[in-house]
Homo-oligomer: A and B are copies of this chain.
Amino acid sequence: MIFAVVCLTALSLPAGMVIFMQSRTPSPLPRTGRPRSAAADAAILEATRAALVDLGWSKLTMGDVATRAGVAKTTLYRRWAGKNELVVDAVAVLFDELELPDNGSLAADIGGVVLQFAALLNRPETKTALMAVVAESTRDEPLRERIRTSIVDRQKRLVLEGRARAHARGELPLEADPAAAARTADLIFDVVAGAVVHRTLVSAEPVDEEWVDRFTTLLLGGLASVQA
């Protein structure tokens, strides 16, 4: 029995793999028996976000989430290994809202995405949860992987798409070496995401039009240097 094997494996492993078979990845779901309630899944994630807003990270408890979602605490533990994994899933969805607007120029496109990202980070459930799970992930490699695949890597599409558009417009030269191009994309991603996060969460200053203008100017000017 495949499922039995999976369960035994999961039980003998610390966290991580248990989640693998759940919501994020299409899993070898058992064909028989009572299926898991999709409504419960949605209610739990929604309740988690609400609890994050009200309580923050450290005071959020599994029991409280269960009560808010109208499910039993045991149901939570049947699906998620703990607070970390639950919160990652609860927040990951929010990042899919990000889109690359077509504002006509590379600078305007970047500015648009930066403003969206900043707005997302200003939502209390996002800002509270994101840093917390990143902090936990420094001691928990599976959790970091989960964050990377569920949140971070998905957003790199924005960088790639923006660059493709810029190429089409003739705003950026095409990098000959694909490896170098990939490294540049990673660099841009770290700079953009890092700067906005730091500005918002550490410096606690607003990401307004004026800051975005200065930032995009810096980024584009620097990009020309890097690709030269």
The interface of chain A, by Cβ under 8 A from chain B, is 56-58, 84, 124, 127-132, 134-140, 144, 147-148, 152, 183-184, 186-187, 189-191, 193-199, 201-205, 211, 214-215, 217-226
The answer, among B130, B138, B186, for a CB contact under 8 Å with A203, is: B186
Question: In the assembled complex, which residues on chain B have CB atoms less than 8 Å from the CB atom of A132?
Answer: 131-132, 135-136
Q: Given B124, B131, B139, B221, which contacts A134 in the complex, CB threshold below 8 Å?
A: B131
Min Cβ gap A181→B in Å is 12
Q: Are B220 and A225 in contact (CB under 8 A)?
A: yes
A124 vs chain B, min Cβ distance (A): 7
A15 to B223, CA, bound (A): 45
A208 to chain B, nearest CB (A): 11
Residues of B within 8 A of A194 (CB): 191, 193-199, 202
Q: With contacts A184-B214, A215-B187, A222-B225 known, is A136 near B199, CB below 8 A? A: no
- Tell me the nearest residue of chain B to A129, going by C-beta: B135
Cβ-defined contact, A218 with B211, below 8 A: no
A226 to B186, CA, bound (A): 22
Residues of B within 8 A of A152 (CB): 202-203
* Whole-angstrom distance between the Cβ of A211 and the nearest chain B Cβ: 7
In the bound assembly, the distance between CA atoms of A139 and B134 in angstroms comes to 16
Chain B residues, Cβ within 8 Å of A56: 136, 138-140
- Chain B residue numbers with a CB within 8 Å of A144 are 204
Q: Is the CB of A191 within 8 A of B191?
A: yes
Question: Is there contact, CB below 8 Å, between B222 and A220?
Answer: yes
A196 to B195, CA, bound (A): 9
CB-contact partner of A135 in B57, B140, B183, under 8 A: B57
Chain B residues with CB below 8 A from A223, complex form: 218, 221-222
